[in-house]
């Protein structure tokens, strides 16, 4: 077992700068059991990994929310993790929205966040996205994967103001 950074001589206990947070489940497709452990305290199974840097420490470290808050001394880690948790919940709910419809051609479609999304069925195991009239290049093996990708694309557009 790797020893925690908190026990490492010279490792700063304060003054860390928050860099970013990653959701290992939604961003990297990992499942419980494949999540990382906090480098600072070695708590296992951290889905939301916060990256911190310090001018007196050579490497960026990956930690959980509690350690990120303690090391940075501010609430940014909690705020960003809460934002990601809400986004993950919205992503899950997107699949179950009652506003999904089936076209005459058998394609699923929805109006979401002012975007027209169509899950184009090319074959029983091949789907493609059409968002706002633009056909995507990626193909998906099932409609759920296509729907999740559609959500991600629309959220990117919304965050950019498109």
In tens, the pLDDT along 36-60 reads: 999 999 988 899 999 999 999 999 9
CA distance linking residue 138 with residue 131, whole number of Å: 12
Q: Do 37 and 46 meet the contact criterion of CB atoms below 8 Å apart? A: yes
Tell me the angle at which helices 65-72 and 76-95 cross, rounded to the nearest 10 degrees. 150
Cβ-based burial of 70 (10 A; exposed 0-12, middle 13-18, buried ≥19): middle
Q: Closest Cα partner for 78 from 120, 57, 48, 122?
A: 48
> What is the value of pTM for the model shown?
0.78
H or E segment at 116? strand 115-123
Give whole-number Cα distances, 3 to 7, 40, 146, 148, 157, in Å.
Answer: 7, 9, 41, 38, 42
pLDDT digits (tens, 9 = 90+) for 118-134: 999 999 899 999 999 99
pLDDT digits (tens, 9 = 90+) for 10-36: 999 999 999 999 999 887 888 888 899
Give whole-number Cα distances, 24 to 18, 67, 107, 140, 145, in Å.
Answer: 17, 17, 31, 21, 17
The phi and psi torsions of 14 (rounded to 5 degrees) equal: -145, 170
pLDDT digits (tens, 9 = 90+) for 69-86: 999 999 999 999 999 999
Distance of alpha carbon 78 from its chain centroid, rounded?
A: 15
């Amino acid at each position: 077992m790797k020893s925690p950074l908190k026990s490492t001589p010279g490792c700063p206990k304060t003054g860390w700068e928050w860099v970013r947070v990653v959701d290992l489940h939604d961003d990297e497709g990992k499942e419980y059991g494949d999540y990382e452990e906090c480098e600072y305290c070695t708590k296992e199974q951290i889905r939301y990994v916060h990256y911190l840097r310090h001018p007196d420490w050579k490497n960026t470290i990956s930690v959980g929310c509690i350690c990120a808050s303690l090391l940075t001394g501010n609430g940014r880690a909690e705020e960003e993790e809460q934002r990601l948790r809400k986004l993950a919940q919205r992503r899950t709910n997107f699949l179950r929205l009652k506003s999904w419809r089936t076209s005459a051609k058998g394609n699923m479609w929805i109006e979401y966040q002012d975007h027209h999304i169509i899950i184009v069925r090319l074959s029983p195991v091949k789907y493609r996205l059409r968002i706002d009239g633009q056909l995507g290049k990626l193909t998906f093996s099932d409609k759920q994967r296509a729907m999740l990708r559609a959500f991600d694309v629309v959220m990117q557009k919304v965050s950019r103001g498109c």
